[in-house]
Every structure is written in structure tokens, then in C-alpha cells.
Amino acid sequence: MAQTVRHEAIRRLLAGVKGFRARYYERNPESMRDLVAHGQHPDVLLIGCSDSRVDPALLTMAEPGELFVVRNVANLVPPYQPDGSYHGTSAAIEYAVRELKVANILVLGHARCGGIQGLIRLRSGEGLQSDFVAPWVSLAGEACDRYLDEVGADDSGDCATDLRDRPHLVERAAIRGSVENLLTFPWVREGVDAGELQVHGWWFDLDSGDLWAIDPDTKRFERVE
């Protein structure tokens, strides 16, 4: 039975590829021909979570060529650290900014994030059996320290005595930390200071479908009407 389920999942994906080909190569081939001939020129680098429920292209209804996307657990951005190690997210940021010349960088987080749940467990003293996930999500720990006080209140006034009761506070703090880490990349900071690049932080409520964004003036999350 399990083998049948796996095969059915692959069949659905193959059907999707056929539908994509029919839409963009048979019925409306001009856009793909242009992308092939002239390359990609997206305006937006979107840093999203690997969560299967929050696909950036589906959520934004973006067309091919509109988004340059990098996804990882908990949509985290590490600080600038050119040490010769493997840095997939940092490499994507560099390529998008220095080669593609994107005008916007968007960090997209969401409710009920499994990676952030792991971080909350770690900060609650629970163990997390993993080789890579625990150290990765720990990147957001410093953001929690900056944006959440000892009782779990953020600067919007929302609070919780136990962060396990209000995980959205940690999810939003992690987004704000990632936005700050983006500015440690020298060529991101240069673009922002020159007015050629904007950095955004979004949080998508998986329960309601509402979108919240960091207000550029107040630096707080506000619901997008």
C-alpha cells in the first residue's frame, strides 16, 4: 500500500509537469522563449521555508521568471560569514544581489513552522535529535533574545508566559533576525544604503490566510489589508 501511495504522488507530479508544459510551452510559449533567450531577470529574491504548505510561487501566484527563490528550514538567513564552508543560502543571496541585481529581498515566514517549533523545544531545555536541524534553527536564538523579553513579550505588546503557547512570536522574531542578518552582507547593505535594494519581512498565517508584514516606519508586524 505504501509503495502504491508513493507511486501515486509521483504520477500527480508528472501530470503537473505535463500541465505546465501545455500552459507555458504550447498555449503561451512567448514568455518561456523570452526567458530562455534572454535569461532570467527577477525583481525579487524570496527566502522562504521548505514547508510543503507554503509554496512561494503558489502563494503569490507568481509567473515563471518573477521570483528567485531559496528555501530552507524556518526561512532563516545566517549572518555574513565567508569562511570557505558550504553556505547554500548565502550563495543564493549573493547570486541574486550581485549577478541578477534584484531590487527586493523578501523573507517569508509562516505560522505553525516545524523548524521554529524545534527552536522552541531547544530553548525550553528539551533535546532535539538531529545532525543538522538543531544547529541550523539555533541561528534564530539571538533574534529571540533581541525581540522577546524574559516573559515572551514582543514590542507590539503581544506576550505569552510560555513561548510554546504563542509560537507566532518566535516565528516573527526569527524573520526580524533574518532581515537584520541580511544587512550584514556588505553588498546588501550597500544596495539598501544606495536606495537600489529593499528588504522585506512577511509572516503568513496558515490558519486564516492573513499576511503580516514589517512596517518600514514602525518596524512592527502589521496585517496587510
**Each residue of 137-170: b (16+ CB within 10 Å) or e?**
bebbbebbeebbeeebbbeeeeebeebeebbbbb
Q: Say which CATH number the domain at 122 has.
A: 3.40.1050.10
Percentage of the chain exceeding pLDDT 90: 79
Question: What is the band of 225 on the pLDDT scale with cuts at 50, 70, 90?
Answer: confident
176, 201 contact by CB (below 8 A): yes
- Asked if residue 162 and residue 77 are part of one domain, the reply reads yes
- Asked if residue 145 and residue 61 are part of one domain, the reply reads yes
115's grid cell: 523548524
- Asked if residue 193 and residue 211 are part of one domain, the reply reads yes
Region of poorest pLDDT, from 38-42, 137-141, 160-164:
160-164
217's grid cell: 516606519
Q: Is 189 a residue whose pLDDT tops 70?
A: yes
Q: How many domains does the chain have?
A: 2
- Asked if residue 44 and residue 18 are part of one domain, the reply reads no
The mean per-residue pLDDT over the stretch 155-172 comes to 72
208's grid cell: 486564516
Residue 93: name the closest of 82, 116, 77 by CA. Answer: 77
- Asked if residue 154 and residue 74 are part of one domain, the reply reads yes
- Asked if residue 29 and residue 73 are part of one domain, the reply reads no
Question: What is the band of 129 on the pLDDT scale with cuts at 50, 70, 90?
Answer: confident
Q: Is 150 a residue whose pLDDT tops 80?
A: no
- Asked if residue 23 and residue 47 are part of one domain, the reply reads no
When the pLDDT of each residue in the chain is averaged and rounded to a whole number, the result is 91
- Asked if residue 35 and residue 20 are part of one domain, the reply reads yes
- Asked if residue 13 and residue 110 are part of one domain, the reply reads no
Q: Number of C-alpha atoms within 13 angstroms, CB side, residue 35?
A: 15
- Asked if residue 13 and residue 102 are part of one domain, the reply reads no
Region of poorest pLDDT, from 1-5, 53-57, 197-201:
1-5
177, 146 contact by CB (below 8 A): yes
174, 76 contact by CB (below 8 A): yes
Helix-strand-coil split of the chain, %, nearest 5: 45, 15, 40
Q: 75 is in which domain, residue-wise?
A: 40-223
